[in-house]
Chains A and B, each alone.
Chain A
Amino acid sequence: MLLSAHFQGFCRDLCTEAAQLIASRVRPTLRLLIQQQFTAHRKLDHGNPTHDHLKEDFKRFGLALDLAADPANVPRLQALTALNRWRNVAAHHGTIPAGAPPLDLPSLRTWWNACDGLATSLDAILYNHLRRVLRRAPW
């Protein structure tokens, strides 16, 4: 649960940072409206950091997020799905789904590394996108 929460926190912070950066480039009277649009109904505020939720939230930046485009991310996304499934089992006292990977130390390490890799990938994708849009290095 903690690992999933940390990854969710990272993605949410990245989303906020990018939104604030874009909002700072518009005139003050429009700034609040832009900020509101970036925050409204954000999936990462309530839901798990799934690939679909990440896609939906980062679509607001005009970004068709496809983490699976990088072959290294394919197993990471599978690990993220497994992590979120186990997170839901733990949080909602659910039953262990059939065919789920075991919850042991090697699995946790795999998920940890997968989250690290996805975070790095997500950061790089957004950095390049914002640099293109803003015509300068975002951070």
Chain B
Amino acid sequence: MATKKASRPFQVGDRVKILGFVGWRGRIVEERGRLGPGGMLVYRVRIPHKPKPTYIELCEDQLVALPAPCKVPPSPVADRPAPSKQEGE
């Protein structure tokens, strides 16, 4: 019998901002499990501070998902077929 998976609000690699701290943004690098009070999910977040990044473990209720950054559109020349290689080169 199939079991229903509990929904996970965030995944490793997601970009998040931290509630209550303006400008604090980071990326989830590890899901630590339900180690928070009341079984709340805890995530390890990498904050890109300079010169060294900071790692903090935060509960799910402290995080807000950020939209993924826009990807650079593919180059128009990318669609062109690659020139066939000649044998003997």
Contacts and interface: CB of A to CB of B under 8 A. Distances in A.
Interface of A: 13, 16-17, 19-21, 24, 28-29, 31-32, 35-36, 38-40, 45
Contact of B42 (A16, A31, A36, A40): A16
Contacts of B54: 36, 40
Interface of B (DSSP majority class): strand
Contacts of B42: 16, 20
B33 interface: yes
Contacts of A32: 18, 20-21, 24, 56, 58, 62
Interface in B55-82: 55-59, 62
Given A16-B42, A20-B42, A28-B20, A35 B35 contact: no
Given A24-B36, A32-B62, A16 B20 contact: no
Nearest to B44: A39
11 contacts: A13-B33, A16-B32, A16-B35, A20-B40, A24-B59, A29-B20, A32-B18, A32-B56, A38-B57, A39-B57, A45-B55
Given A13-B32, A29-B20, A32-B21, A19 B57 contact: yes
A127 to B, nearest CB: 15
Nearest to A36: B56
Given A28-B20, A29-B20, A17 B57 contact: no
Interface in B1-41: 18, 20-21, 24, 32-33, 35-37, 40
Nearest to A21: B37
Nearest to B55: A39
B69 to A, nearest CB: 24
Contacts of A45: 55
